[in-house]
Amino acid sequence: MKALLFACCLVFSATVAKADLPKPKPPEKAAKYVLHTSLEIATDPKAYEAKLQISESSLKELRAALDGAPGNGAIVGGIALSPPRTIIAGLLMFMAISIAGILLARSPSFGRTQKTVGAVVLVAVLIGVAAIITRANAGPPGSYRWRNLPQALAEGKPTFGGVDIEIVPDADSGAKMRLVIPLKK
Amino acid sequence: MSAVTINRTTDDSERNPDFILCHQPPDLFGVVVFVSILAAAVFASWLPLQISIVTVFLFAGPHNWFELRYFLMRLPVRFGRSRNFFLTAFAGLGVLTLAYVSLPFVYNTQLWGDEAWSTIIAGWNTALLFWLGLLVWLRSRQKRRANWTWTIPAGLALCSLNWLGPDSFSLALVYVHPLIALWFLDRHLRRTRPAWLRVYRRCLCLLPLVLAAMIWQLTQSSPLPDSNGLFWRITQHSGAEMLPQVSSHLLVSVHLFLELLHYGVWIIALPLIGGLAGARVWDVKTVPVARHPRGFPRVVGMLLIAGFAAVVVLWFGFAIDYSTTRDIYFTVAMAHVLAEAPFLLRML
């Protein structure tokens, strides 16, 4: 009987102890990048409420991006979603590079040094083009266009720049929209 | 030295009937080109939509007429050794134009998805590049000294880029086409006013600087309003939908700037530089293929009259329904874009 009571107490205490454990945290959802588009921040002294105006084409793109449709996004999106076209493009580029190499090698008007330099330039151009196509985000950082925002707001002038649209979990955003401007101090 | 010069000019005169010895200093020409480039850039940046509407209304049709006349001026009476070249040129011109004009009808059937549609566009662009490659090959056979084999890998690389982004490739054609007129002017000056060529090429060096200044100035500008159908068409034509991260003001301004130069070359520069033959544009006898004893004056005359009638019809169309006429014009106008290729190759 004592043994039975001891066993019951042990089980009960274990249950109480386990029940006291905090609820396991759900895995953190990262913000999901959806679309890069343009944004204008403007002031209107006659308005009584802040307004978020979205053009029809932007809404269409956003909808397409959310649905996972190709839309009109960056070139890289088109590549990822179109394997046949990518294969054809790859084969053609392979032929272009091969024939250019053969022509360069057989050309009597170029010396060995010039051919080597030509080959290096060709490879560099190829890598550069590939980098532009796949990354396609060359140029100054996005924060550059927003650098004069405080001054422009004070003067009532519009400011125009790029914006990444991200979908964030409700827990992080507090179920409201948030605009983050990359201003450097 | 002077004997060599005299011999050379005599040869040039025999080869080119419109060759005119020009002793005037080229400075004035340089100033005119310089001011024209700057003025075009300022107007295109200032009121892009309004000036685009007025420019297309006034100059789109006439510039096609002047192009037609210029091509007729360059057409030989007998094709001779160039028979295959011209047959390929005209056959390709017809087939590619018909295919391009039929694309909107194919699109409206809604039988194709986005992916299939991109493949169709890529296919048309590939056919265009293949045709250009064929013309280059036929032309290179007539020019034994020239080595144009590099065009094969270049064409294949362009084909590859086209298949990666067919829409981007088509948009690139929209921006590159106006620049071809500057190439025509360069070749024409080389034949008729070689003294002006150096100044002209120096002025061309200004072009990238002006474009860079426009991009620098307009990159942060607000997008243009596309609230009505016409403004929307103009911004779409310049690639606003494909490049949402770029200000539509910048895109329309750059495209309009290039178009203004294009119209300026065809309507003003080339006819005026052509001398008397170029100035009397209405005179059929100034066209060699009509003037020649074995030529075709009636055909040339009818073509020019039909072209003039088309210009008048286009003006009426713009006055009645600008948006629809603009759509039709820019579809059918692909023919003149294609026609420039063989005639430019003939001048190289």
Q: What is the ipTM of this complex?
A: 0.71
Q: Residue B3 — very low, low, confident or very high, per pLDDT cuts 50/70/90?
A: very low
A162 touches chain B (CB under 8 A): yes
Mean pLDDT of B129-150: 85
- Which pLDDT band holds residue B167 (cuts at 50, 70, 90)? confident
pLDDT digits (tens, 9 = 90+) for A63-87: 777 776 544 444 444 454 577 888 8
DSSP secondary-structure letter at B46?
Answer: H
CB of B334 closer than 8 Å to CB of B99: no
Lowest mean pLDDT among B2-11, B178-187, B190-199: B2-11
pLDDT at residue B162 is higher than 50:
yes
CA distance A41 to B222: 10
Task: Tell whether the model's pLDDT for residue A19 goes beyond 60.
Answer: no
Residues of B within 8 A of A96 (CB-CB) are: 153-157, 159-160
The answer to whether the Cα torsion of B95, B99, B101, B102 is positive or negative is: positive
User: Please, which pLDDT band fits residue B91 given cuts at 50, 70 and 90?
Assistant: very high
Q: Residues B341, B333: contact at Cβ < 8 Å?
A: no
CB-CB neighbors (< 8 A) of A38 in chain B: 223, 244-247
Residue-level pLDDT at A75: 45
B267-281 residue pLDDT tens: 888 888 866 455 577
Per the CB < 8 Å rule, is A89 touching B244? no
Q: Work out how many CB contacts closer than 8 A connect A with B.
A: 93
Tokens of B243: 């490049």
pLDDT tens-digit profile of B282-326? 777 777 777 777 777 788 888 888 888 988 998 888 888 888 888
Q: Which amino acid is at B279?
A: A
Work out the pLDDT band at A140, boundaries 50, 70, 90: low
Q: Are B132 and B178 contacting, i.e. CB atoms less than 8 angstroms apart?
A: no
pLDDT of residue A135: 56
- Residues across chain B: 348
Residue A167's SS3 state is strand
Interface check A40 vs B, CB under 8 A: yes
- Please report the pLDDT score of residue B7 as a whole number: 42
Query: Do residues B119 and B156 make contact, with C-beta atoms less than 8 angstroms apart?
Result: no
Nearest to B334 by CA among B183, B170, B134: B170
- What's residue B278's pLDDT? 55
pTM: 0.67
**E strand or H helix at A37:** strand A32-41
CB B192 within 8 A of CB A107: no
